[in-house]
Chains A and B, each alone.
Chain A
Amino acid sequence: MQITDKQYDLIQKFMRNELNESEQTLFNESLKNLDFKKELNDQARILNAIETSKDQELRSFLNDIDVSELGETKSDKSTSTKISEPKGKVLPSWLKYALILIMVISTFFLIRNSLSKQSKPDLFAAYYEKPMAMNGRGTTGDAIFSKAIVAYQEGNFAESNAQLSTLSENNNDALYYASISKLELGKYQEAIAGFKTLKTKNTKYSSDADWFMALTYLKMNKVNDCKDQLNLIVSDSNHPYKTKATQLLASLK
């Protein structure tokens, strides 16, 4: 195939959607040339084949993990089971004392851990305040929304969640109160998903979503995720929840 350097450049730019108007005209004219067309077709096919082969490589890399890594983990476990099987031998006395010591230390840490876990709900309670409901008729004028907001105000979160979830796809107010209702109901993952959507859509609830997402993580005892979220708030000097987030971060340290 014989094409000029100029034609090669045209194909290159076409592949990257970088042709300007005059180049596009030239490109269209060049399509009358059979060699040019063959070259264009070849290059498109070659690049697609390379991407496909790269995907295949990645796929086999991942599938190999499935076979080897997970297999190793499983076999490691089975090996350790075999090792710990009683063999009928009497343990030496120093080993008995070492085991007792390990048990005492582990018990101490278990108790300490559970105590620290108990303190998280207290922290959550100290910082969480259910947002006041807006006037149901004000924004949407929707009967379902109004009904849902009344349920929300009354603390009937199952009802508010059920009603608001039907509206939340196209209504940010509904999505916000539905997410809070989910948090109240203990549907934490769903609540977080709702808050994230509010963030992504960059709604008027973005800041609130940041804060309640942090509190949801706290409630889930995902302290690191909670800290990440709080740090995000603290890093924004204009964030309305900055002070609260700073205080909560300090309490978690």
Chain B
Amino acid sequence: MKTDSLEQLRKELILGDNTQLKDFYIKYIQDCINVLISKNLCSEEESKEVFTEALIIFHKNIINGKIQNLSSVRSYLISTCINLARKKNQYISKTQKKLDEVRLLFYDNNDTTIEERENKEDLISICQKALASLSERCQKIIVAFYIHHLSMKEIAQQLELSSSDVAKTLKSRCHKSLLKEVKNLRN
């Protein structure tokens, strides 16, 4: 895959356009399943799940810039599938790492008084609703900044905002609205 195609793919994924990802899914799922089965790594059903996870990792790594050069999407997906199936590659997201770090801060102080009022599934559902209640631009800024960890400069470019300062102001406003909405939904 050429660098400019890779950059184009990254831009599309950042903006939430998953058309190419869908093409890769259709094009390579069978190859990956065949490899996993032929290596006796998993069953056909499990292979499908592994392939989906591999594509999610691919999606993340394209956006966060880990993949700078890629001569073959197929080879990348196959090797990721193999590593996943062999449990050599367990993807831990940055937000999960951060959450673990925060928890460690609490335990370090021997303070376990912080209550986790709802379980994770409830919180996911609340956050989904809260995010969906924001404008489309706000949703994109929050995901780009907090999930994809893009810089303000890049967010401004990708979302066609006039400057990174504008992006920063919008980000703060959107994030505060999100927190407020989550709080409302929790009560």
Q: In whole angstroms, what is the CA distance A16 to B55 when docked? A: 25
A-B interface contact total, Cβ < 8 Å: 114
Q: What secondary structure prevails in chain A residues at the interface with B?
A: helix
Q: How far is the CA of A192 from the CA of B74 in the complex (A)?
A: 13
**B118 → A minimal CB distance (Å):** 9
- Chain B residue numbers with a CB within 8 Å of A229 are 71
A residues in contact with B99, CB < 8 Å: 44-45, 47-48
The answer for the CA separation of A112 and B106 in the assembled complex, in Å, is 72
Interface size on B, residues (CB 8 A): 49
Whether B124 and A63, one on each chain, are in contact in the complex, defined by CB atoms closer than 8 angstroms, is: no
Pairwise interchain contact A46-B182, C-beta atoms closer than 8 A: yes
Query: Which chain A positions have C-beta within 8 A of B39?
Result: none
Inter-chain contact B98/A52, CB cutoff 8 Å: no
Tell whether, in the assembled complex, residue B56 and residue A65 are in contact, meaning their CB atoms are under 8 Å apart: no
Cα–Cα, bound, A228→B142 (Å): 37
CB distance from B57 to the nearest CB of A (A): 10
Which of A50, A59, A213, A229 has the most chain B CB atoms closer than 10 A to its own CB?
A: A50
CB under 8 Å from chain B, chain A span 217-253: 225, 228-229
Q: Mark A6-50, 1 if CB is under 8 A from B, else 0.
A: 001000100110000000000000010010011011111111111
B interface residues (Cβ-Cβ under 8 A, vs A):
2, 18, 21-22, 25-26, 29, 48, 52, 55-56, 59, 71-72, 75, 93, 95-96, 98-99, 101-103, 105-106, 109, 111, 113-114, 116, 120, 123-128, 131, 142-143, 146-147, 149, 172, 175-176, 178-179, 182
The contact sample of 23 A-B pairs, CB cut-off 8 A, is A15-B146, A37-B105, A44-B99, A45-B116, A45-B123, A47-B98, A47-B146, A48-B93, A50-B131, A50-B143, A51-B93, A52-B120, A53-B128, A53-B131, A55-B93, A58-B18, A65-B22, A65-B25, A69-B26, A70-B29, A189-B75, A193-B75, A225-B72
Q: Using A45-B99, A62-B21 as known contacts, list a sample of 17 further A-B pairs with CB atoms less than 8 Å apart, ordered by residue number in A.
A: A34-B113, A37-B111, A40-B102, A41-B103, A46-B179, A47-B95, A47-B147, A49-B127, A51-B96, A53-B128, A53-B131, A54-B147, A58-B59, A59-B56, A62-B25, A63-B52, A192-B75
